Amino acid sequence: MITIPLPFQIAFVIGILFIIFNNKHQEQYQKSIFLLLLFQIFFLPLIAITRGSTLYDAIRQFLFILPGVAVLATVGIVRIYDILKKKFLKVLYVTVLLAAFSVIAYDMVQLHPYEYIYFNRISGGLRANASRFQTDYWGLSLNKTAEWLNKNCPTGSSVVVASPNECLELLLSNNIKLYKARYRKRGDWPPLENGDKFKKPFYYVAIRKWILQSAFPECPTVFKEERMGVPLSLVKNCVTNSKEK
């Protein structure tokens, strides 16, 4: 729920309350629709939770609940407007909605084109959650990183990547040599299993996954693709020669 804006969460709860307490005034087809929505949102996830099913990548396996949440949130928003009888209350309500949606829109503009890493403000936003959750899981920020490497790396440079290397394979110039680093999971130190096998100089690339960005602390960071002060991907310039083990 921390990735769903707070106004929509409130509207979603109001929508559910409307369904429960206004049941007698609903047509049969409306009751059927609402029942299917509640089934979609709650029943299938509840089965997965009670059975202890293994779940991966946050909400990805439950994306099917979001259309239902959106419908009930819309019901909640509309019902509040209908309940308000006085014009100035309706105007005030719409004004509050516009202000709330403006904040969400502002955050989305700040995150663009990585809107999918959004965290709502009640949870602390992206900066507060970046150390708890993976942000740019799919490595979309590597597009900008590749642009920087193509522009700034001398011909024949070596790039070590501890991120989805498929993106860089497609985006990097043919004059740059790409090497895949094996990384440890869940924050084990050192982050890379074979970090001492690469012969310097090279550029090191990592997305914000576990503690991969902390590898090679002796190397200065020369590029960051960041949003709201959180580096989604970065490039370190490891120029000091070392013996290959």
Helix, strand, coil shares, percent, the chain, to 5 = 50, 15, 35
Do 121 and 6 meet the contact criterion of CB atoms below 8 Å apart?
yes
pLDDT for position 99: 97
Cα-to-chain-centroid distance, residue 126: 9
Who contacts 78 (Cβ-Cβ below 8 Å, separation ≥6)?
none
| pTM exceeds 0.85, yes or no | no
Can you tell me the distance from the alpha carbon of 9 to that of 237, in angstroms, rounded to the nearest whole number?
44
Cα dihedral: 188, 194, 196, 198 (round 10): -140
User: CA triplet 192, 196, 199: central angle to 5 degrees?
Assistant: 125
Radius of gyration of the chain (CA): 24
Q: Is 101 helix (H, G, I), strand (E, B) or coil?
A: helix
Widest Cα–Cα separation across the chain: 78
Tens digit of pLDDT at every position of the chain (245 positions): 788 999 999 999 999 998 888 877 788 888 898 889 988 898 888 888 888 877 766 567 788 889 999 999 999 999 999 999 999 999 999 999 999 999 999 999 999 999 999 999 999 999 999 888 888 888 899 999 999 999 999 988 999 998 767 778 888 988 899 888 877 766 566 667 666 677 788 999 998 877 888 888 999 999 999 999 999 999 999 976 444 33
Structure tokens at 19: 């369904």
The residue type at 225: E
CA distances, 242 to each of 57, 151, 190, 193, 213 (Å): 37, 26, 17, 17, 20
pLDDT for position 189: 62
